[in-house]
Amino acid sequence: MASTDPEKYSLDHETEKNISEPLADAIRQGSVDKKILQHSHDADEAMKAFQGAEGQVIEIDAATNKRLLRRIDWNLMPIMCIVYGLNYLDKTTISYASVMGIQEDIGLVGDNYQWLGSMFYFGYLAWEYPTSRLLQRLPLAKYSSFCVIMWGVTLACFAGVTNFAGAVAVRFFLGVLEAAVTPGFALLTSQWYTKAEQGTRTGIWFSFNGFAQIFGGLVAYGIARGTSIHPAAIAGWKIVFLLTGLLTAVIGVIFLFTVPDNQLNARWLSKEDRILAIERIRVNQQGVGNKHFKWYQLREALVDPLTWAFVFYALVADIPNGGITNFFNQLIKSFGYTSQESLLYATPGGAVEVVALIVCGFVGDHYKNRILVSTSGLLIAILGMCLIVGLPLSNDSGRLAGYYLTQASPTPFVAFLSLISTNVAGYTKKTTVAALYLIGYCVGNIIGPQTFRPKDGPRYVPAEITIIVCWGVCLIDMMFIYWYCRRQNAKKAAVRAEPSYVKLENQEWLDLTDRENPEFVYSL
């Protein structure tokens, strides 16, 4: 038993009114430390659904759970997948434009194009933490839809750019507006799906990056081919920006009217099903959201080794991503193909990414080990880049196949994105870690294009070797994360096994962090 200090167990009248009776009793009896109350009496939004129902047990049978999951999937996944695909397409449209005449039309010289590739991530970096706070403070879906609409409008404005300065401005603000989509979707996934479902769903919506690469390549090829035969009033690259930008804005409006901020205001669920939709994620030990900023959770995020292991992975892994994303068309041209062929031949890489992400997401959830399963994609990518570097210049098809294999590289990044949803609890802590992870992603993507130096073209061997080294370092970091999560689970199991341990009623909705909640189990 802890200290018998009466101050530890006393409750003032105002505080006692604002917490549930079971929690108050637990504090009076010394079963739970008063510091948990100090941090968590402003509980998760999910607690509202269970007010007045203390002691009642809600059981969800397998058939009801399957029905709810199917309804949630049909109402959320299609629109999330389309928006995330557009997120990738919109930021990589510049790669298609790079072989459609934009460099000559707006007077890009020297390393101007490399800086346009990086400028998107400067905007992303500058706004990532503020946008994460806004995702916590404002209605989640409404703020996300606003960002989608505005980034579509911003992208369409690229068609009016006439010089490098204008292009820099558009790329910067495009990064600012797209900064909300990945952390927002990670929060939506953790809000609606159980731990066992999150890896697969994250893999599915992230895989639409690959579908976008296929779609974008075919559209860009069609426009480039069509305008070469039948010249249009405006340049083909401008048509690409207008088409993708306006399409994004329209989809953003649909997102606004389709996606709810949480289960409590989902128009496509009955009142009873809203309660059940919250109850089915009780196992996550996280809830659906808390608008109160908690300094102790921010501090915990900053001293947690797991946070910095995630950030380190994002930074190092996205140095290759930043280079390949902005230079894949030029890389394919270096294999001996024409500009138009590079647009068309890039599309199978998207199919590789789709298959890798969906398969690894499903298998990782099935075997309850997302980390080890996702290493397979990174190993395949390393093999692909080794083929690009090692094969002779005359082997164009072999080097192109190597490029396709590199498109399996996002599997660990997506696994960790889903693990931030799964393994980081406490809403302030979760938004902080997600923001830091994506700040690492931005820094890596800023560095990446700079490794593809003009003087190294057309082969870019130094950049290709840098990519192999970065992916090798990432494998070591992944093993640390795997070991650390297992170690923390063993410590928590020891705490739960102590005779004095008492689990609080509705402990899942107290907005506790993963480190302070003994019931929290880290997924692998």
pLDDT score for 58: 67
Most confident range, picked from 40-49, 94-103, 160-169, 442-451: 160-169
Cβ–Cβ < 8 Å for 242, 439: no
Report yes or no: 114 and 449 within 8 Å, Cβ to Cβ: yes
- Average model confidence (pLDDT) across the chain: 82
pLDDT of residue 288: 60
Predicted confidence at residue 359, as pLDDT, reads 92
Domain boundaries, the chain: 62-494
**Closest alpha carbon to 81 in 270, 175, 209, 256:** 209
Sorting pLDDT into bands at 50, 70 and 90, what band is 17?
very low
The arithmetic mean of pLDDT across residues 129-144, rounded, is 90
Asked whether 187 and 135 are in contact (CB, 8 A), the reply is yes
Q: Report helix, strand or coil for 200.
A: helix
User: 266 near 260, Cβ under 8 Å?
Assistant: yes
Alpha-carbon span 325 to 327, nearest angstrom:
6
Cβ atoms of 412 and 353 closer than 8 Å: no
Q: Measuring CA to CA, how many Å separate 521 from each of 59, 182, 333, 417, 517?
A: 22, 24, 48, 17, 9
Confidence of residue 45 (pLDDT cuts 50, 70, 90): low
Of residues 108 and 127, the one with the higher pLDDT is: 127
**385 contacts 242 by C-beta, under 8 angstroms:** no
Kindly indicate the confidence band of residue 4, based on its pLDDT and cuts at 50, 70 and 90: very low
- Among 14-23, 170-179, 285-294, top mean pLDDT goes to 170-179
Global pTM value: 0.78
The pLDDT tens digits for 494-524 are 888 888 877 766 666 677 788 888 888 898 8
Predicted pLDDT of residue 34: 46
Distance between CA 203 and CA 363 in Å, rounded?
A: 11
The predicted model gives 481-486 an average pLDDT of: 94
User: Above 60 in pLDDT, residue 7?
Assistant: no
Q: Using the structure block, give the residue that is written with the tokens 């890009």.
A: 108
Q: Over 80: is that where the pLDDT of 77 sits?
A: yes
What's the whole-number mean pLDDT along residues 216-228?
75
Six-digit token pair at 141?
A: 């879906």
Distance in angstroms (rounded) separating the CA atoms of residues 215 and 236 = 16
**What's the CA gap between 97 and 199, in Å, rounded?**
34
What whole-number distance in Å separates Cα of residue 68 and Cα of residue 46? 17
Determine the Cα–Cα distance for residues 390 and 395; give it in Å rounded to an integer.
10
Confidence of residue 13 (pLDDT cuts 50, 70, 90): low
Q: Using the predicted structure, report yes or no on whether residue 2 has a pLDDT greater than 50.
A: no
For residue 232, name the pLDDT band (cuts at 50, 70, 90): low
**Region 50-62: what's the mean pLDDT?**
62
Say how far apart CA 94 and CA 216 lie, in whole Å: 11
pLDDT category, 55, cuts 50, 70, 90?
A: very low
Q: Which of 267, 221, 216 is nearest to 244 (CA)?
A: 216
Sign of CA dihedral 247, 249, 250, 251: positive
Residue 285 has pLDDT above 60, yes or no: yes
Averaged pLDDT, 148-162: 92
Residue 99 above 80 pLDDT? no
Q: How far apart are CA 432 and CA 434, in angstroms?
A: 5
Confidence of residue 342 (pLDDT cuts 50, 70, 90): confident
Of 42-46, 270-274, 351-355, 499-503, the range with the lowest mean pLDDT is 42-46
Closest Cα to residue 447, out of 313, 308, 320?
320
Task: Name the pLDDT band for 24 (thresholds 50, 70, 90).
Answer: low
- What's the CATH fold of domain 62-494? Growth Hormone; Chain: A; (1.20.1250)
pLDDT value at position 177?
Answer: 93
**Closest C-alpha to 307, from 438, 177, 469, 395:** 438
Confidence of residue 127 (pLDDT cuts 50, 70, 90): very high
Binned at pLDDT 50, 70 and 90, residue 346 comes out as: confident
Nearest partner of 380 among 397, 358, 404, 400, judged by Cα:
404
pLDDT tens digits, residue range 404-447?
Answer: 899 999 999 999 988 988 888 888 898 889 889 989 988 898 88
